Amino acid sequence: MTTATQFERQQTKILANREPKSGALLLLESIAAQGVDTIFGYPGGAIMPVYDVLPKVTSLRHILCRHEQGCGMAAIGYARATGKTGTAFATSGPGATNLVTAIADAYLDSVPVVFVTGQVTSDLMGTDAFQEVDIFGITLPIVKHSYIARDPADLPGMVAEAYFIAAEGRPGPVLIDLPKDVANALTTERHKWRPYPKIKPEMGQSDYISKAEDLIKKSKKPLFYIGGGIAQGDGVQELRDLVDRTNIPVVSTLKGLGSLPSDHPSFLGMLGMHGLKAANYAVQECDLLIVAGARFDDRATGKLDTFAPNAKVIHLDIDIAEINKLRKTDVYLDGSLKKNLAALNPGEAQCENWRHICFSRRDEHEWDYKSPIENMKTGGVYAPKLLHDLSRRVDRSAIITCDVGQHQMWVAQHCYFDNPKDHITSGGLGTMGFGLPAGLGAKLGAPNRTVITVSGDGSIMMNIQELATLFRYDIPLKIVLLDNSALGMVRQWQEVFFEKNYSEVNLDDNPDFAMVAKAFQIDAFTITKGDEVDDGIERLLSATGPILMHVKIDTYENVWPLVPPGRSNADMMER
């Protein structure tokens, strides 16, 4: 993100340059001035002026994805792997509407991405012109802010403000809609930028800090409930220091995984619908819930009025709108998570018996990777063990991007994460087709790290065209495709809650995915037996280019535990 000093220098330079420039060139130069080096995009008629001058801005690397949704998801993966703001381009009409799912994904997971869409000329806007849609209006509920450019001289300031807004506070997507005539127009003017917004999230009030510390000191069964806001608020180290100071047990949401290393002695695992038993039981029995960067999402809480029923609540969040939205708090600390976590210093919690209960239960319910394999008459692949073994054999700096479905929950339950940037998945929106483009975006953002995408046979078909992007740019992404010939999570719910009425979930006519990958000139192979897993993992990890490991698994293998909808997290169904 641009600092105030850098902003002033850029303003002086831009205002001093009176060379005639088009809106399209001003847009690109202003984006480059924000430190952007990578854009994911797809050209078309309305945005063609931008692509016409793109070769002139040599500091920008453009990645041509094969679908605008792929562009948006790749920009999200890039942003989440790097901590920078992502950038995606598309043309008007269907190009813009194909970005909508990615915009919504970024909004619900609070990811900073600037989306730039071409638009028909200003005189045609509102006439139902060819490839015209009101993308500004369509996306109003799912953006942090949006613009329609009306004057090319406004673009330098507009771009700078867009990148600032996307990244400040609670991050999110920002849209710039650029009419074609504004992109083409030449101007010598450079409108003075608005005063740089100086927003500095502060620490909570000192008396509230004291009240929170007092609650922690008096608690007999305290528990940290952490979410994605920890990473987004740059509070990972401060959280770890606080946990070590207090020795309080910790549970995490899906997006909070990695904020505390998976093997940390205080970590009980993910909570919620597919949370681990030790984590869910701890929430139900605690007397104090210290919520940091989480928002009481329904997948985490189960039936809300039964969630942590005996607990007082301390809630830390940068977004004041989340405080008291779903659960009344006893003490809240809004503002900077980083500062608030650092400020809390209640000393070691006096809860030795509670710690013993929590950690004994964690040991008691430790996952058994052996028994399910022994019970498999076919000698097939047990997906949780494959993911567990893969996660332990890859280097600890590896990134795993994930699609949505059963495999997503298995990754969350069984893979090791040392940092929240190591785990990139679609949380709030639950977007199938996310994993492959997010993986290529993450790999481009973090080229020196191993990046693995875990997908399912349903999910990968939604953006499988991005295999062509892997080949074009030789992006060495490693893909693990778990193929159960079904829409697995929907099939599981139909089995458990709809009397095995398997309606429209059968995918047994899938293509041979290894052959499909090879058709895209991607190395690929298939494994079907448990005794092939070790060699398969070795081949996957040793590959120097993009590679796909197609893994056939049992259609009827389910994700456990499972909290039924409308039930307390204590009511977990098991295998």
Beta bridge partners of 316: 292, 333
Better pLDDT: 106 or 574: 106
Within 10 angstroms of residue 126's Cβ, the number of other Cβ atoms is: 10
Q: 173: burial class by Cβ within 10 Å (0-12, 13-18, 19+)?
A: buried
pLDDT for the residue 6: 63
Pairing of strands 312-317, 250-252: unpaired
Within 10 angstroms of residue 531's Cβ, the number of other Cβ atoms is: 9
Checking if the pLDDT of 4 tops 60, the result is: no
Euclidean distance between CA atoms 86 and 132, whole angstroms: 25
Q: Encoding tokens for residue 139?
A: 């996306």
The per-residue pLDDT for range 308-354, each reduced to its tens digit, is 999 999 999 998 899 999 999 999 998 899 999 999 999 999 999 99
Euclidean distance between CA atoms 160 and 15, whole angstroms: 14
Pairing of strands 21-22, 186-187: antiparallel
Arithmetic mean of pLDDT over the chain: 93
What's the one-letter identity of residue 122?
A: S
DSSP string, 137-153: HHTGGG-SEEEE---GG
Euclidean distance between CA atoms 404 and 545, whole angstroms: 25
Q: Encoding tokens for residue 110?
A: 């609070």
The dihedral through the CA atoms of 440, 442, 445, 448 has a sign that is negative
CA distance from start to end of the chain: 47
Confidence of residue 370 (pLDDT cuts 50, 70, 90): confident
Domains defined for the chain, CATH in brackets: 4-187 (3.40.50.970), 206-364 (3.40.50.1220), 371-552 (3.40.50.970)
Contacts of 443 (CB under 8 A, 6+ apart): 81, 399, 449, 451, 475, 476, 477
Choose among 390, 535, 382, 410: nearest CA to 451.
390
- The answer to whether the CB of 213 falls within 8 A of the CB of 313 is no
- The answer to whether the CB of 440 falls within 8 A of the CB of 548 is no
| Distances in whole angstroms, Cα of residue 494 to Cα of each of 300, 405, 572 | 21, 14, 17
| Distances in whole angstroms, Cα of residue 424 to Cα of each of 80, 109, 440 | 7, 10, 12
Q: How far is CA 113 from the centre of its chain?
A: 12
SS3 for 210-263 is: HHHHHHHHHCCCEEEEECCHHHHCCCHHHHHHHHHHHCCCEEECCCCCCCCCCC
Checking if the pLDDT of 147 tops 90, the result is: yes
Q: Encoding tokens for residue 410?
A: 């298995």
Q: How far is CA 479 from the centre of its chain?
A: 18
Average pLDDT estimate for 105-123: 97
pLDDT for the residue 373: 67
Confidence of residue 377 (pLDDT cuts 50, 70, 90): low
The per-residue pLDDT for range 427-452, each reduced to its tens digit, is 999 999 999 999 999 999 999 999 99
Q: Encoding tokens for residue 438?
A: 């997010």
Q: Encoding tokens for residue 278?
A: 């030790």
The per-residue pLDDT for range 345-362, each reduced to its tens digit, is 999 999 999 999 999 999
The per-residue pLDDT for range 41-86, each reduced to its tens digit, is 999 999 999 999 999 999 999 999 999 999 999 999 999 999 999 9
Contacts of 542 (CB under 8 A, 6+ apart): none
- The answer to whether the CB of 148 falls within 8 A of the CB of 183 is no
Please list the active-site residues.
68, 130-131, 180, 489
